[in-house]
A and B are shown apart, each in its own frame.
Chain A
Amino acid sequence: MPSRLRPTPLLLALAFLAFLAVPAFQDESMTSFCFRLLELVAMTYSLNLITGYLGYVDFGHIVFYGVGAYTTALLLSGGVALHPALLILPGGAAALLFGLLAGYPALRLRGAYFAIATFSINEAMKAVVLNVDWLGGSEGIPLARYIRLELTTAYYVLLGIAAAVAAFSYTAVRQKFGLGMLAIREDEDVAEALAIDTTRYKLLTYALSGAVAGLAGGIVGLAHVYVSTEYFDVGKSIEMFVIMMLGGAGTALGPLLGAFLYFLIKDFLILRSPHLHLVIFGLIIVFIVLFLPAGLVGYLRERSGRLRALLE
């Protein structure tokens, strides 16, 4: 087969290489801005797996982030001394396990029922964390006396997570696993009639995307040397949804492009009022659902037949 230029992996690779170069400038504020950007990129790729590719709306996706952050923080404060890159692994594993346990009943639900269940799972976890003493309650868990982590180190770890989930998103849809997810999104009954073990696929996707969010939560918690119920806050869920919709749900470039777009628009709007940007983003989401269901990537693809074959 003749090799063809594939701009999607090229763009992804260039973007992540650019991220890789950021700490070299030794500009603290720039690195910390990009850290925040990468956090949302990684989280949105993770949400995109379950919602964009599998078609299950997860309004409570942030719960995995919280579970990962708290697991990592508890291990650290409990005296487990490991390199931070290793310390977040149990956080990811806990999120994976949580995904399997919560997903087993929740994924028997479809459509709106699943979406509501996820909402409620997150609220429940938040209430538990807020009220259980050894989880820090409303005080959270301060970590500064256990660890001093260079922002650069945390940055590279987060970059690794984001790049890995982006690469997975790109490659998955050309493989059995990804096509199985898409089939379920398109028509779950038909997918099942085509011999796809939908229960297994859904559970794996949910737990896997949860693990990614758990790893991200862990490293962010370490970088900020503090975890609290903020890690279960719906605010971040909202940002993830806005980014996914802006860039293009169910596309491999969407979360990356969406995150840039989100910060551009937000920076522009936030000058006026702290809540105004979310008012506008609410309208933008409505507009996207009605007119551009595949976001910016979808728009570019519709505009030109050539782009359609190139952008994924």
Chain B
Amino acid sequence: MAGQAVRAEAAGGQGLLVLRGVTKRFGGLVAVQGVSFAVAEGETVGLIGPNGAGKTTLFNVITGAVAPEGGEIRLGGERIDGLRPHEIAQRGVRRTYQIVRPFPNLSLLDNVLIGSLFGGTGRAGEAARERAREMLAFVGLTDKAAMLARDLNLAEKKKLELARALASGPQLLLLDEVLAGLNPVEIDRSLALLAEIKGRLGTTIVMVEHVMRAVLRVSDRVVVLHQGEKIAEGRPEVVAGDPRVIEAYLGERVG
């Protein structure tokens, strides 16, 4: 424990991922405004907020898909803002997409194989293939390994993205609404899968999620965004009762 604390200290902050004053505008529109928070190694943090709160933008900024205008982002103490997306990915960051983006004309195995071939812990040859098969088994898609990704249903595509993201053994996993559009049975299955990723693989997770029940069950901590700013942060059950958070959500429903 002491060792971990020292490492976090040496990393110049309080964890694996540290955001300080991150800001992103599109034209005159502020998407993310001075957001700061940290995620410790092994932790699962839920990122919630009404539509347009800036959650996906924040993911895009962390992964380097868009460059922030202000603030800094550190991964394991090293600044990663301003790096190209593949350089950030090289350092062990992987994500899934709100609107799924598997490689449609490739087999499931090739989809996941690409995930395991590239990146810091990238494997080569047969080891990569083996890892890809393992990950397909992990998400329960072994029987469909030879199918093309475009022929899957939504729930399967989401699992495939998860397998692809996990294949390189990432340090940090960003999940963008992995549960959206799933039916209750599929949600339960996916939640079990998430618990296993957390427990067995020990992966650090930041998840954007609308299904509150899921956020409360899986997250160690929750960060709430509203109109691009952080309005609350804390343990899930505490945040869920915060009047500002309730107002932010109610405001959305009425307006």
Contacts and interface: CB of A to CB of B under 8 A. Distances in A.
Chains A and B bind each other: yes
Interface of A: 176, 179-180, 182-183, 186-187, 189-198, 309
B119 interface: yes
B85 A182 contact: no
Interface residues of B, number: 28
Nearest to B97: A190
Nearest to A308: B146
Interface in B87-116: 89-90, 94-95, 97, 101, 103-106, 110, 113-115
Contacts of B106: 182-183, 186
Contacts of A198: 86
Given A186-B104, A186-B106, A187-B101, A194 B114 contact: yes
Given A179-B117, A182-B110, A193 B89 contact: yes
Nearest to B119: A195
A192 to B, nearest CB: 4
Contacts, number: 64
Contacts of A179: 110, 113-114, 117
A158 to B, nearest CB: 32
A183 B102 CA distance: 10
Interface of B: 63, 65, 84-86, 89-90, 94-95, 97, 101, 103-106, 110, 113-115, 117-120, 122, 124, 146, 164, 168
A33 B147 CA distance: 41
Given A189-B101, A195-B118, 18 more contacts: A176-B118, A179-B113, A179-B117, A182-B103, A187-B101, A187-B103, A189-B65, A192-B86, A192-B89, A193-B89, A193-B94, A194-B86, A194-B114, A194-B164, A194-B168, A195-B90, A195-B120, A196-B118
Q: Is the interface of A mostly helix, strand, loop or mixed?
A: helix
Nearest to B122: A195
B115 A176 contact: no
11 contacts: A176-B118, A176-B124, A183-B103, A183-B106, A186-B105, A187-B103, A193-B86, A193-B94, A195-B118, A195-B122, A309-B146
